[in-house]
């Protein structure tokens, strides 16, 4: 029965509680669980100030993209959170992850896939909220719409183009 109750708790979009650690105020904590190699999992935790997270549409879009295991817009084998290192749809993605310290590494090198994305918000009163981003595939009408929007945000918010390789982009930096 406890397992059933815990499952029901996970079905709610927003869970609230009070933090015992009052040092977290107005921050988002992003917890990523990366698959390094054959189910060797490496957790990665990154903290963002409230305004940084809420004003960064590209960051939210990337996290939403990773949250999809099997989507309808792209082939799931080398897209979404799978095999980030081989993502040909958005080649600049790995660099974005490195620059925002979201990428995890193991002794084998960079992890290849995201297993899970959990986002927690701590408000000014230390109240805790579990954040659920919208499903990536539901945000766009088709694949071209998704790629166009992603490219626009990479260019506008980050100065990169999704359809350029890292080598080509390094020349501009």
Alpha-carbon gap, residue 28 to 117, rounded angstroms: 13
Highest mean pLDDT among 35-39, 95-99, 118-122, 151-155: 118-122
Nearest to 53 by CA among 64, 42, 44, 43: 64
Which range (6-10, 53-57, 102-106, 126-130) has the least confidence? 6-10
Which pair of tokens denotes residue 141?
């009408």
In a domain, 22, yes or no: yes
pLDDT band at residue 3 using 50, 70 and 90 as cut-offs: low
Q: What's the predicted TM-score (pTM) here?
A: 0.76
In a domain, 88, yes or no: yes
Which pair of tokens denotes residue 27?
């921050």
In a domain, 49, yes or no: yes
The tally of domains found in the chain comes to 1
Give the number of other Cβ atoms within 10 Å of residue 150's Cβ.
23
Give the model confidence (pLDDT) of 29-40 as tens digits: 999 998 887 778
Domain that holds residue 139: 13-170
Mean pLDDT of the chain: 77
In a 3-state reduction of DSSP, which class is residue 33? strand
In a domain, 8, yes or no: no
Residue 17 is predicted with a pLDDT of 52
In a domain, 148, yes or no: yes
In a domain, 7, yes or no: no
Percent of the chain surpassing pLDDT 90: 17
Residue 118 is predicted with a pLDDT of 93
Give the number of other Cβ atoms within 10 Å of residue 65's Cβ.
27
What separation in angstroms does the CA of 145 have from each of 74, 148, 150, 155? 12, 5, 8, 15
In a domain, 98, yes or no: yes
In a domain, 45, yes or no: yes
């Amino acid at each position: 029965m406890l397992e059933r109750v815990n499952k029901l708790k996970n079905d709610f979009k927003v869970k609230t509680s009070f933090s015992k650690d009052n040092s977290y105020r107005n921050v988002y904590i992003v917890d990523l669980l990366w698959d390094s190699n054959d189910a060797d999992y490496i957790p990665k935790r990154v903290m963002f100030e409230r305004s940084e997270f809420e004003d960064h549409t590209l960051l939210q879009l990337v996290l939403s993209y990773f949250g999809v295991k099997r989507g309808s817009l792209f082939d799931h084998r080398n897209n979404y959170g799978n095999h980030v290192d081989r993502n040909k749809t958005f080649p600049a993605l790995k660099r974005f992850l490195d620059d925002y310290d979201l990428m995890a590494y193991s002794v084998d090198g960079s992890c290849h896939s995201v297993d899970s994305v959990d986002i927690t918000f701590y408000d000014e009163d230390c109240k805790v909220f579990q954040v659920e981003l919208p499903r990536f595939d539901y945000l766009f009408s088709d694949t071209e719409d998704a790629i166009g929007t992603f490219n626009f945000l990479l260019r506008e918010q980050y100065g990169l183009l999704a359809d350029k390789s890292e080598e080509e982009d390094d020349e501009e930096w």
